[in-house]
């Protein structure tokens, strides 16, 4: 950081303008005290210079001596001058520094004033104490306009599971959702989600989620209790409004009735590892499909799950999950009197998600590919008959954000049954073919809080192909949503 080398001083060099200014300065008020001293010294210097010729003529006898003396004098002169110049430089520097400091001090003073003012404003703003502790509140408004050829309500070969099918043509409100969440205290986090739905002219308020979660447990452990979205599968834990398509993939409709919601406990543990390795277990006492209501002390359904995930380079990240859901089914209704299922139902799900964003920055463009495979074995009694059969399903979808606010996506979803053990004529009769769909979607998000979507589906759930068009809006108000992976 060393400054530039001081220029070599030469006697015949012109005097610097600032030096001259100091020599001629008459207004002593503007000359600092030490500068005055410099000026008086310079006057002495002047006298020496004037006297020099006199000295020279007086000692003309010895030219050699004289020459030496002149050299000596020049040297002294140069020294003196160098000394003064460096002192003046020094003073100049001190002056600028003082100016800078004054400037800094003024700025600090301004800032102190502003902070004081701001504090005063903050303190005078009358927020009531009760209001300060409001949780984060958000609401999601969803609606759609559909045009279907025929639509359908049940998937052949599966028991009715709740919400299946593309619904009906025309305009319909989806689930409008209200969410509250906040830190309870230093140990717990709480979340409440209400779903408001209008069906057949009646408004229903459903309790979608109501859970508390520990935040204070060490060693990577978290316990959740209450009503929560199960970790079975990848998509299940997401709210519907976060989906990339208007409707859930067929396996989710067939095996979960859209979403598997558990009433009970969940424990999860993040293993200490450089990758994400997470193990979890869930106990469900509730009656959310595929579980059936249970009044025993032991839970009616148990889920074991694991998620493993990480990054590959800067631009790729992935997650792989396996889950196993075991349900002790007690009289699951089929809609046909007398035909209900009781027994064991075991569902295995393998899921994989891969996300790509250039440089790991998904804001501008990104690509997401996800796939899940479901396999379920059911063993028990259906309508008084022995029943031991398998069902399976999978989907693969890709969504590409090709411009900052635009995304396009494709999905293929399939479900299939192998219900050979049952006689013909029951609702679980094997249709002998798989049900499948192909969907294309395009959505535009004017901001992070609004989304407009159009979706086309070529639906082959029933033997006859159904062409479906959807227009959908999803808007969120209130608290900022989460960017879940």
Binding site residues, other proteins, CB under 8 A: 100, 104, 111, 114-115, 118, 183, 186, 189, 213, 215-222, 268-270, 272-278, 307-311, 314, 317-319, 355, 359-364, 404-405, 446-449, 477, 480-485
CB of 276 to other proteins, least distance (A): 4
Minimum distance from CB of 443 to other proteins (Å)?
A: 16
Per-residue DSSP letters for 305-352? EEEEEEEETTTEEEEEEEEEEEEEEEEEE-SSTT-EEEEEEEEEEEEE
Indicate if the alpha-carbon torsion angle 358, 360, 361, 365 is positive or negative.
Answer: positive
Closer Cβ to other proteins, 283 or 318, answer by number: 318
Position of tokens 């796939």? Answer: 371
Closest to 428 in 3D by CA, of 62, 52, 159, 108: 159
Nearest to 407 by CA among 450, 441, 448: 441
Nearer to other proteins, 321 or 393 (CB): 321
Residue nearer to other proteins on the CB measure, 294 or 307: 307
Q: How far is the CB of 222 from other proteins (least distance, A)?
A: 5
Q: How far is the CB of 31 from other proteins (least distance, A)?
A: 24
End-to-end CA distance of the chain: 48
Least Å from the CB of residue 67 to other proteins: 48
Q: Is the CB of 248 or the CB of 355 nearer to other proteins?
A: 355
C-beta neighbour count of 266 within 10 angstroms? 23
**Closest to other proteins by CB, 239 or 332:** 239
Residues 6+ apart with CB under 8 A from 209: 179, 191, 192, 193, 226, 227, 228, 229, 261
CA-to-CA distance for 478 and 459, rounded, in angstroms? 36
Smallest gap from Cβ 86 to other proteins, in A, equals 21
Nearer to other proteins, 24 or 186 (CB): 186
213 versus 334: smaller Cβ distance to other proteins: 213
Q: How far is the CB of 226 from other proteins (least distance, A)?
A: 14
Beta bridge partners of 350: 322, 373
Nearer to other proteins, 233 or 290 (CB): 233
Q: Are 344 and 329 in contact (CB under 8 A)?
A: yes
CB of 37 to other proteins, least distance (A): 28
* CB of 69 vs other proteins, minimal distance in Å: 46
Residue with smaller CB distance to other proteins, 76 or 221:
221
Closer of 238 and 469 to other proteins (Cβ): 238
Block residue for tokens 């009616």: 300
Cα gap 78→13, rounded to integer Å: 11
User: Which among 180, 241, 191 has a CA at the least distance from the CA of 213?
Assistant: 191
Q: Which of 177, 156, 173 has the alpha carbon at shortest distance from 165?
A: 156
Report yes or no: 172 and 201 within 8 Å, Cβ to Cβ: no
Cα–Cα distance measured from residue 263 to residue 301, given in angstroms and rounded to the nearest whole number: 10
Token pair 């050299």 is found at 71
What is the rounded CA–CA span in Å between residue 400 and residue 223?
Answer: 35
Please, which residue, 13 or 215, has the CB nearer to other proteins?
Answer: 215
Calpha distance 147→35 (Å, rounded) = 91
> Could you give the CA distance from residue 275 to residue 456 in angstroms, rounded to a whole number?
38
Residue closer to other proteins by CB (options 75, 405) is: 405
Sign of CA dihedral 218, 219, 225, 229: positive
Q: Which residue is associated with the tokens 């998620």?
A: 307
Distances in whole angstroms, Cα of residue 417 to Cα of each of 377, 436, 452, 465: 10, 12, 35, 19
- If the CB atoms of residues 152 and 449 are measured against other proteins, the closer one turns out to be 449
Nearest approach, Cβ of 192 to other proteins (angstroms)?
A: 15
Query: Smallest gap, in angstroms, from Cβ of residue 483 to other proteins?
Result: 4
Tell me the closest approach of the beta carbon of residue 219 to other proteins, in angstroms: 7
Least distance to other proteins from the beta carbon of 155, Å?
Answer: 32
């Amino acid at each position: 950081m060393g400054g530039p080398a001081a220029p070599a001083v030469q006697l015949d060099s012109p005097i610097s303008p600032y030096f001259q200014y100091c020599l001629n300065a008459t207004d002593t008020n503007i000359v600092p005290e030490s500068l005055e001293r410099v000026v008086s010294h310079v006057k002495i210097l002047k006298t020496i210079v004037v006297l020099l010729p006199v000295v020279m003529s007086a000692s003309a006898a010895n030219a050699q001596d004289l020459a030496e003396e002149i050299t000596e004098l020049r040297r002294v002169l140069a020294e003196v001058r160098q000394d003064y110049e460096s002192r003046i430089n020094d003073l100049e520097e001190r002056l600028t520094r003082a100016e800078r400091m004054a400037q800094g001090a003024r700025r600090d003073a301004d800032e102190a004033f502003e902070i004081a003012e701001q504090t005063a404003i903050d303190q005078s703003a009358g927020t009531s104490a009760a209001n300060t502790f409001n949780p984060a509140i958000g609401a999601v408004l969803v609606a759609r306009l559909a045009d279907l050829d025929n639509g359908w309500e049940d998937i052949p070969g599966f028991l009715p599971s709740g919400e299946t099918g593309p619904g009906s043509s025309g305009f319909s409100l989806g689930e409008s959702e209200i969410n509250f969440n906040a830190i309870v205290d230093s140990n717990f986090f709480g979340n409440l989600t209400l779903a408001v739905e209008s069906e057949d002219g009646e408004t229903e308020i459903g309790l979608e989620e109501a859970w508390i979660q520990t935040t204070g447990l060490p060693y990577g452990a978290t316990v959740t209790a209450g009503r929560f979205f199960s970790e079975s599968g990848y998509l299940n834990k997401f709210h519907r409004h976060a989906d990339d398509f208007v409707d859930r993939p067929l396996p989710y409709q067939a095996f979960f009735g859209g979403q598997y919601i558990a009433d009970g406990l969940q424990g999860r543990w993040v293993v200490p590892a450089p990758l994400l390795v997470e193990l979890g277990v869930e106990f469900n006492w509730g009656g959310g499909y595929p579980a059936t209501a249970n009044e025993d002390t032991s839970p009616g359904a148990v889920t074991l799950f694991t998620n493993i995930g990480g990054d590959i380079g800067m631009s790729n990240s992935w997650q792989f999950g396996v889950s196993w859901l075991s349900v002790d089914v007690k009289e699951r209704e089929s809609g046909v009197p007398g035909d209900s299922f009781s027994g064991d139902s075991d569902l295995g799900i393998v899921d994989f998600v891969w996300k790509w964003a250039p440089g790991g920055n998904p804001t501008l463009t990104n690509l997401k590919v996800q796939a899940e495979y479901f396999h379920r074995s059911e063993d028990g009694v259906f309508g008084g008959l022995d029943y031991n059969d398998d069902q399976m399903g999978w989907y693969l979808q890709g969504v590409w954000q090709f411009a900052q606010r635009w995304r396009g996506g494709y999905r293929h979803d399939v479900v299939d049954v192998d219900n050979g053990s049952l006689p013909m004529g029951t609702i679980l009769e094997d249709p002998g073919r798989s049900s499948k769909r192909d969907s294309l979607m395009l959505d535009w998000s004017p901001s992070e809080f609004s989304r407009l979507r159009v979706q086309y589906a070529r639906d082959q759930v029933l033997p006859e192909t159904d062409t479906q068009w959807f227009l959908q809006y999803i808007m969120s108000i209130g608290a900022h949503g989460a960017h879940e992976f």
